Chain A
């Protein structure tokens, strides 16, 4: 029998009943008395231009139009929609060169969809019609869409502080030689018997969360600015909005609405600034801004595309002697995560294998693409695509089995993780590799697939990854939790942690229930209210269960300490002699001598004088537990993915036959939800590897801003999936848990590419590997399959 009451159980998700009946309130569902509708006028015809004329007169004539706000009618303060700038100290931010380079409305269009002005009207339809009547004239500017175009001579510099449009480079002061790693990789490379090297392109993938962004803002009767937002970092939103409009945070309230998927798309802020600016222009009236799906594609941040060069050196026996890499990320039109992603891309690289020396250079460049930002994996899938393919290229030459080599050379307990000096506290990657290889019948298939004939070719591939559970020590990891004990011994746990759908609210409630010895129903998780909840950095870096969970456990410990203290008075004994048994505290030397938690809590609140003794009945005061938890650890999880593909060499189509997804989870808190993260993550990893990319025409206008033209794997496309969770409780995670949120996306990317390599003997240097690229490569390599 499990030692736990609720941990490790598939309890119903706390929001599932509401969701199957369509009850939760997403921002778009809200309707308020006197509500006005905002429409943001966006530049749709140019990716780079200057506004030469802006005329609202025709729009204002339309009955029902309340106001039109141009760039000069709103605050001139600037901001960064990302979050990294708030998650490092000012000093580090300066060293990194972080920028706040966005304005609410602009006269310099830097990408298609940039916001020019905002129309406020009495109905959505009128707002839309008025937006079409705003006259905007543009002077087109030269468009640059890639890092190499951006740094070319004579290209307009998007920001005065960033020569050659280089938004970021690992700063010399923190990374000597602008390089992250260890040893002298140049020197070490000289020792190599085999060197493999190549340049890759990684793709611009979109999160495609199903809920299009929608916001409401209202200045209420007390002059408070209220904003209903589905952001995944409500406290960062709170700070950013207050600062943007020069308001004390007490004058701003963020109401978190149900989040219809995030995957990074809602990390930081999106159109809260425009919506709040409109609300401030019409005090008292709520203003709703509903983003259309086609707008969502081009305005919210995507994964960083970029050029990724890598060189690996090996000894004949497979010993990895050196790794050198350079990632030039395309940050798009604004800074956003220009410093965060190029760093972590290299960090995941450094965390994977025991190379003798490693040197990684990370940069990012502005362009006229839509801004890039956070997307599940945050640099890790990019590294996976490149590193895992090059490893297999070398192993093919060295005639070493890809599973065996990974077993031999992956980093593990005691090695430096993705952040040097922070050692891996736990690692079950070897077990993941072994169980995954068995599940897909690696050895048997490796042999079978050697001698294939016919136009359809099968292949198997493996890839491994390391990730993180929160971003300690790179970024701030801080969560505040209060636990209020009700008078009957049930509890209200208050945290600002958000649930993007992954189930964090369910898991956090499980953790609280387990820690307090209560049933799930006896705990209520209070979230989503910036007035009530203390600080939380927000949902990112797969940290909510790990950091939020530990914050809750600390606050519950505080409650338990107070309960024991009170019990000493009731039971007339010392703390050492007391023990919890579920909802009761008893004296170890005399189990009869006991008191229920409910009674202590009740007497603490309803505290009366005993009429006979004149003494209070029990200890007075309601019990509140508190923690302001800074995570000291980041317990990275590992994982190995195995894939089998069948490729039709006549059509170029890649059929995914099977995907085995193993994960080093520490302890599984909710098996079904953990599996859901792995399967759902795989769907997105498959997309990155095979189908998903935002394409632009020569003018920099997006070509495929719809679900028809941007192809994601659907219900019939998905392969047969098997998830294997390898458990080995981590010393630091809540109940031993490590993260599972982003990991599921990462390793399928490399595994698929390697399976394709295994099938065709060709490596693809550009993701996604589409049928056109497959056919072209077969032709270019002069191969014929029959």
Chain B
């Protein structure tokens, strides 16, 4: 099995990893490193349950990216957004009861945060458009849209970001 050494910063911690070249970022996160807050919903880029933030802004379906191609990138999962307390999106999801079974929630929270970082004042239409790739079978989306609208009111002040990586954890995978 071919492997590659990469450096990934995950939720603020830089890690040196060796990953099989065909391993998806989702599998690296979940299976290799135990970041199970990123979910498997389809494995084919159709549901958004596996969404992560790359380099603080853009979102990505981690089931569609090979970890080996992510060398040097910084990855944020829903657990990583709760830096010093919940971020505004997470709090708003609670306030608006936008959480039912919770399986889509980490991906939704991450995707919504990415949206607000790029566009802090989205219209309802823009929010709905941006969330199209994230399926929720429970809520019917209304409460989620309301949560993003609530969060937008206090963005970006309540959105904590990890500063640059503080330490390099060696041999996590060694």
Contact = CB atoms under 8 A, between A and B. Distances in A.
B160 interface: no
A13 interface: yes
B136 interface: yes
A20 B78 CA distance: 7
Interface string A248-282: 00000000001111110000000000000000000
A12 B139 contact: no
Contacts of A263: 137
Contacts of B30: 29
Interface centre among B86, B138, B141 (most CB of A within 10 A): B138
A635 interface: no
Contacts of A31: 34
B34 A20 contact: no
Interface string B95-121: 111011111111001000000000000
Nearest to A208: B137
Nearest to A293: B42
B105 A19 contact: yes
Contacts of A682: 140
Contacts of A229: none
Contacts of B81: 21
Interface stretch (A69-77, A432-440, A574-582, A704-712): A704-712
Interface stretch (A105-113, A618-626, A715-723, A764-772): A715-723
Interface in B40-90: 40-44, 46-47, 49, 77-79, 81-82, 86, 90
A783 interface: no
A259 B139 CA distance: 15
Given A210-B135, A212-B41, A707-B47, A22 B140 contact: no
B97 A10 contact: yes
Contacts of B138: 210, 261, 501-502, 676, 680
Contacts of A672: 96-97, 143
Nearest to A708: B46
A28 interface: yes
Contacts of A19: 99, 102, 105-106
Chain A residues touching B, range: 35 or more
A262 B106 CA distance: 18
Nearest to B127: A715
Name the residue among B96, B138, B140 with the largest chain A CB count within 10 angstroms.
Answer: B140
A124 B139 CA distance: 32
Contacts of A684: 137
Interface in A639-680: 672-673, 675-676, 679-680
A21 B94 contact: no
Nearest to A19: B102
A211 B101 contact: yes
Contacts of A708: 44, 46
B102 A15 contact: yes
Given A22-B79, A707-B135, A210 B99 contact: no
Contact of B103 (A260, A290, A707): A260
Interface string A1-23: 00000000010110111111111
B44 A209 contact: no
A28 B36 CA distance: 9
Contact of A210 (B104, B140, B141): B104
B8 interface: no
B101 A22 contact: no
Given A20-B99, A716-B132, A210 B46 contact: no
Contact of B100 (A22, A676, A715): A676
B25 interface: no
B161 interface: no
Interface in A478-510: 500-503
A676 B82 CA distance: 25
Interface string A200-236: 0000000111111000000000000000000000000
B9 interface: no
B40 A212 contact: yes
A413 interface: no
Contacts of A124: 31
Contact of B102 (A28, A260, A707): A260
Contact of A22 (B46, B78, B131, B142): B78
Contact of A718 (B31, B101, B142): B142
Nearest to B22: A125
B1 to A, nearest CB: 9
Contacts of A17: 86, 94
B77 to A, nearest CB: 7
A501 B99 CA distance: 8
Nearest to B46: A707
A3 B30 CA distance: 47
A702 to B, nearest CB: 15
Nearest to B97: A672
B101 A260 contact: yes
Contacts of B143: 672, 675-676, 679
Given A22-B37, A210-B104, A259-B101, A714 B77 contact: no
B155 interface: no
Contact of B137 (A10, A21, A209): A209
B101 A715 contact: no
A535 interface: no
A712 B42 CA distance: 14
A165 interface: no
A681 B49 CA distance: 20
A683 B141 contact: yes
A681 B138 CA distance: 8
B19 interface: no
A736 interface: no
B129 interface: yes
Contact of A680 (B34, B37, B140): B140
A16 B140 contact: no
Contacts of B93: 16, 20
A714 B132 contact: yes
A721 to B, nearest CB: 6
A699 B63 CA distance: 31
A318 interface: no
A211 B100 contact: no
B28 interface: no
A290 B30 CA distance: 13
Nearest to A20: B90
Contact of A716 (B36, B102, B129): B129
B38 interface: yes
A754 to B, nearest CB: 21
A25 interface: yes
B134 interface: yes
B57 to A, nearest CB: 20
A713 B78 CA distance: 25
A292 interface: yes
Contacts of A473: none
A26 interface: yes
B145 interface: yes
Contacts of B95: 12
A609 B147 CA distance: 57
B46 A258 contact: no
A24 interface: yes
13 contacts: A16-B94, A17-B94, A20-B82, A20-B93, A22-B78, A22-B106, A23-B79, A258-B102, A293-B43, A293-B47, A679-B142, A684-B137, A714-B135
Given A22-B79, A260-B39, A501-B138, 13 more contacts: A20-B93, A21-B79, A23-B79, A26-B36, A29-B36, A293-B43, A293-B47, A679-B139, A679-B141, A679-B142, A715-B134, A715-B144, A716-B129
Rank and list the top 9 A-B pairs by shortest CB-CB distance, nearest first.
A22-B37, A501-B101, A19-B102, A260-B103, A679-B140, A29-B36, A501-B100, A672-B97, A707-B46
